[in-house]
Structure 1
């Protein structure tokens, strides 16, 4: 019998069904597991696209997506966008700023795209945009820092 990895072991896992079949998602970060899942895939041009479908649990009392949810998604997207720079390293967010542009509502497809503005060392600078059904909802900038090698 093959041994299954413990639930608390992190890593990218394939999504095999539903809207995001063929994408991957990160599993093993307790906060992101609860907030997401946030799915990612590599586009034909080599860039990373990160996405999720807005649900009622992501909304605030006014009926649109909570700003904290958008920033959580942007924070996760930093690491996906910088994946090729991070390689086998763990990293932490040093800075994340965001400009809220438009509200996001239940049912909308929320996507993040971006680019590494500067990399090559321990500190990586990323800029990106979050859209909801193609309309700009959040512009973000972040800095992540490599902190150690991964063993998974």
Structure 2
């Protein structure tokens, strides 16, 4: 299990992604200006037989990163964001023990979809380039929650 002392300053554990990520996490987040960064420490259970982070774990991380980026974009309602398309380009490995961190940006919104992209690093080196298209689903609550990961309250 990840030791709290091994998590970079400002990152807090977050509960996102339901039971699947509760089992495969933990994930951490912190505010970065108006946006959000997401991260995790590569543990043995995240690795493949070569002792590097499994591509499926990295893809799962990307599939959580981009919706979090979208949710923290100022001025928009909070909605469920089902993935329509997720493009992942693996650039480098994330070794056992590496800190994996991602950030991104919203490229475009339409009435029914959001396009976003991001970069994921492992110990500061670019490890993945990601892009995705997400459906603007049902409102979550009244849609007004501007801090769904409760990061501002913890800062």
Tell me which of 119, 125, 130 is aligned to 1:135: 125
The unaligned stretches of length 5 or more in structure 1 are 1-16
Aligned counterparts of 1:108 and 1:55: Cα–Cα separation in 2: 8
Question: Residues 1-152 of structure 1: matches in 2 within 5 Å?
Answer: 18=5, 19=7, 23-27=12-16, 29-43=18-32, 45-85=33-73, 87-119=77-109, 121-151=111-141
Whole-angstrom CA distance in 2 between matches of 1:112 and 1:82: 13
C-alpha distance in 2, partners of 1:146/1:103? Answer: 32
Gaps in structure 2 of 5+ consecutive residues: 143-155
Name the CA distance, whole Å, in 2 between partners of 1:87 and 1:126. 16
Higher relative contact order (CA 8 A, sep 6+): 2
The secondary structure found in structure 1 opposite 2:82 is strand
In the alignment, the residues of structure 2 paired with residue 22 and residue 103 of structure 1 have an alpha-carbon distance, to the nearest angstrom, of: 22
Report the Cα offset of residue 22 of structure 1: 5.6
Report the Cα distance in structure 1 between the residues aligned to 2:103 and 2:11, rounded to whole angstroms.
Answer: 18
Pairwise CA distance, 1:148: 0.5
Cα RMSD, aligned residues only: 2.0
Deviations 1:109-138 (A, max 9, x none): 100011001126331101101100110111
Moved over 4 A (4+): none
